[in-house]
Amino acid sequence: MHTEPTKPKSQWLSKLFPQWAHIHIDQLEQKWIAVSLAAVALFVGVITLDALFHGINPPSKVETIDSASLHLSKEFAEDNLGVQVDGQGNIIVRMVAGRYSFFPKHIDVPAETPLTFRWVSMDVLHGVHIPMTNMSTMIVPGYVAEITTSFPKPGDYPLLCNEYCGLGHNHMWSNISVIAKENWTAPTKPAATGGTSHE
Ligand code: CUA
């Protein structure tokens, strides 16, 4: 039987890991290892560039808040919740998650318009998911989860908790009406106070 001498391995790998020279890895396999490493490098690169140049970050940007005293905070006091338009015309939606609902219980927002959601929890870990949209985030107690998105299609959407938060978890929901842009009127509440990335 003809035994082939071990094929030369990638030089840089042999230098990094001396035992590499004794492991047989098929050339085809080597190619696919390189392809998968390149894919990982590409994804990490895209995430890094987005974070640096487009400001796309995970929802929890380590903006902290005292979950136990939300009602005393300016931004998440009860009468400051819901939909507001700030000084620059940005629509900010402030919502509080607590066992077992989202507050306010119902909101109206315009379709095809950028909306900045700011979520906080008043007790334990919750999540929020709006089916058929790209709204989904964890709501970690002690942190503000901020997501800017827009909903292309008008309609009534449920707002569901997707992190187990207690016995009432599967009853934790509220709803959101996305209405045609031209039919939506900004609520006449006093201008929002409290920190957002738009100020
Ligand atoms: Cu809140 Cu599950």
pLDDT digits (tens, 9 = 90+) for 139-171: 999 989 999 899 999 999 999 999 999 999 999
Atom of ligand 1 nearest to the CA of 165: 2
Model confidence pLDDT, tens digit, residues 3-58: 555 555 567 777 777 777 778 888 999 999 999 999 999 999 998 998 888 777 76
CA–CA gap between residue 93 and residue 110 (Å, rounded) = 11
138 — pLDDT class (breaks 50, 70, 90): very high
Q: How far apart are CA 163 and CA 167, in angstroms?
A: 12
One-letter amino acid for residue 90 of the chain? N
What is the distance in A from the centroid of ligand 1 to the CA of 160?
Answer: 8
**Coil, strand or helix at 57:** coil
pLDDT of residue 197: 42
- Do β-strands 91-98 and 115-121 pair in parallel, antiparallel, or remain unpaired? parallel
Q: Is 169 in the pocket of ligand 1 (CB under 6 A)?
A: yes
Nearest-atom index, ligand 1, CA of 99: 1
pLDDT digit string, tens, across residues 169-190: 999 999 999 999 888 888 776 5
Calpha distance 173→140 (Å, rounded): 17
The CA distance from 95 to 98, in Å, is: 10
Residue 103 has pLDDT above 80, yes or no: yes
What class has domain 60-183?
A: mainly beta
Q: Is the CB of 165 within 6 Å of ligand 1?
A: yes
Residue 5: CB atoms within 10 A of its CB come to: 5
pLDDT category of residue 199 using cuts at 50, 70 and 90: very low
What residue's CA is closest to ligand 1, atom 1?
A: 126
Q: What is the DSSP string of 150-181?
A: ---S-EEEEEE--S--STTGGG-EEEEEEE-G
Q: What is the per-residue pLDDT for 69?
A: 83
